[in-house]
Chains A and B, each alone.
Chain A
């Protein structure tokens, strides 16, 4: 039997793919370049910014944001959004404080209950999304509004105000605070323990993403859900697990903040949901899913932290922070779009 063929798969595009391809497999590249530029910008003008105390100062907001951004990045690589994640940090904090201050729970049991609630919310988010195939944007917008209502309604009903406080008196407070909201000394400055949690979460997420089977599935369900199912990837389980991971991260951040401030505002976390997404996108995540990196999201959060505090150190009006965010987001999205175009262009 003869096969009409013109020789073996000849390779005529060797030169054209080299560099672009290498950049492609490093989604966090843009964020790292951005971080270096932003650091150089502020460090060049502010003595405080580049001091050890300054570093400890701007790593602080980066850390709690970073934990969330990394979780959201995994979810976005898996092709979904979670708009309820910000408010959920408030919900979990409120649950912990209310149970520990009004119902005699120890801090740890209260946190455990808050974790269970968070995982349930994540599970329901995921279940509704995979079963209805509605866009997660809409589904979690619904959860977001519901949680917001609950946070305010329950807090007002219980306290008559819009905050719950007094966590300091709860059993196990000092212990829990040391683990989640304490500080450690390094180079003469006090760094927040949350920074270590941030690094830990980033390392774990990177390992899962790059070196485990579920990591491969996350890329696959975000890249092409149906194609992934066709080769036997448990797409529904993967997505539900991602929503639960995000919820778990929201619990961690909610607990960290509750322990640090010993009180929680009923509107805590509101508006943060977009900041997480922006950090993930700056870190190289595509809005369309299937591509991104946990390290990139962590670096995206770092850029936020630096800009947030750097603008204050320079004595500028904080309004400029918003402008800066917008500019970073636009730049990152444009860069990411090029990536996708390149990778998806069909070659014959």
Chain B
């Protein structure tokens, strides 16, 4: 085992000391990630805001407050409309993502919150822009919840709401008198607690939550990248993988032309051990490049990994796939010139059509089909699946398996093409 590890360490050291190779494995990918991330519109706060029409039919304070909150939200570009038909047309024409209609009884429902009247708003969305609608839906829930918390902290409003509830309980026909008395006592107790300074919206109110509101925005499925950086960092990774493949793919040829291959062949190690050492180095470099770029994207550009376990799977599969491609290239490039140049050009083209230049999800269908011959394209799919497509294990299986197969086939072809002894 020692010789294999020694070979891998030597090759990694070589990569780090070769400024050109190190730049193409890490520096250039980072530049790609930053540049394209910026071009694609950076993070969500800088992205085009969601155009939303609001039709407020409610005359009361709750409706106005919600409109106000939506207007202040950075991710929503709000325009008010009095005419529901006009607003619906705006959505149909693509001028707005959604129409939000606040019903006439919204304020009344808010005041009657303890009585069990549901507060509801209506939303009409553009079916082709469901992902943005999902985003908006979450946003509205969040705003409404915040509004409610503010209300709970307001003793005057609480008094009205509780009075309403008491009234409703007293006049309700479907509850028995003891129940009505019990409820009345309970509402009095709440009122006294609030008068004494108890704030149900504060953290210590955990045990006493008068109503549960589930915020669905957190669980809204994501079908698109949250920011340009989630696209561009994947592109960066593609270029980084390409850098690793070319660096290690040509290292066999350069060992030959520099004469050091002679010492590897005269050492008491097998050819398989030499290849294992090279492969291990390439595998480690591929993993490192992916880890560094993802970590950097997370730390500095707000990238979040939706499926960490799937990300690990994607990175491992890419490591195997591109180590195989490296060996394929090594087999092709017996000399540093000639075949070596051809190998590099081939890998470059594969990276370009595989998502390095144009992100896969904006590719025209025909180009996307063509890009599937490139292992880089499958790596892009795996990484997208882990970062923002929310792939489950079965969904990850196919692209990862294809990536690994590329690796195995490339490895086999490369190894059989490598010339060893004279």
Is B a genuine binding partner of A? no
B residues near A, CB below 8 A? none
A residues near B, CB below 8 A? none
